[in-house]
Amino acid sequence: MAHYPDLAGKVALVTGGSRGIGAATCRALAANGVKVAVNGRDEAAIDAVVADIVGKGGEAVRAPGDVTDEKVLERLRDQVGPVQILATFAGGQGGPMKIDAARWRAVIESELTSAFLTINAFLPGMIDQNHGSIITMSSSAGRRPGGANIAYAAAKAGVVMLTGHLANEVGKHGIRVNCLAPSAVLNDRMRRYMSAEQLDELAAAFPLGRVGRSEDVAEAVLYLASDASSWVTGVTLDLTGGRVTG
């Protein structure tokens, strides 16, 4: 794992931090000296991530709650205080599903509105500090049509535009806003429902010959959170193992 000394002593909130990419991000940040607030809705999963970080000498606190709820976000803001790193990774409803009006609204809330509301809650504190890095989570599904459901794809495309517009607005406050757009990243759902043969076939579709790992995305977070990317804002970084998404 890359080491970024300038991250030491900073405070981060990672929404969707209890599993997968979010959990790997929490661990990577903590390993670089960041005090991490781990958000999610599964409190047992949050506890496991916090215990792992603390057990390895890092700093982490529980920050449970549904980030589609503004009152929950107000509570989290009061609990965590000002942050220098904000990773809006909550969501994960990309699988195939029947989309009706109710499901459309639910997916948009989960994948897009949650990012807006989280940023809206924590941005004033960043402006007061005249410093901060916001990292949003899109997907290859928001970059080109594919196998994800249409509501998820639309929401993730919206995250890309949210990122670009916000970067233009808050750069004058010393705040950078960037977006990650991963393709297939191995997760518990894939392990459950895909055979070894299917996973091999999927891996073969990528020029680099493998699917992504949560740690691949976490490494990109470290770069975007650190001063190493101090001239980078408004960018969507495609993490796709060589599959062109543009």
Q: Looking at the annotation, which residues are catalytic?
A: 152
Q: Are 29 and 85 in contact (CB under 8 A)?
A: yes
Separation of alpha carbons 34 and 88, rounded Å: 16
Residue 144, C-beta contacts closer than 8 angstroms, at least 6 positions apart: 245, 246
Separation of alpha carbons 12 and 91, rounded Å = 18
Please give the angle made by the CA atoms of 217, 203 and 235, to the nearest 5 degrees: 30
Residues in the chain: 246
Helix (H) or strand (E) holding 38: strand 35-40
Q: Which candidate, 219, 211, 119, 121, places its Cα nearest to that of 159?
A: 119
For the beta sheet containing 175-182, the strands, ordered from the edge strand earlier in sequence to the opposite edge, are 59-64, 35-40, 11-15, 85-88, 132-137, 175-182, 236-239
The CA angle 196-198-203, to the nearest 5 degrees, is 95
3-class secondary-structure state, position 20: helix
Token pair belonging to 48: 């496991």
Residue bearing tokens 């982490």 = 60
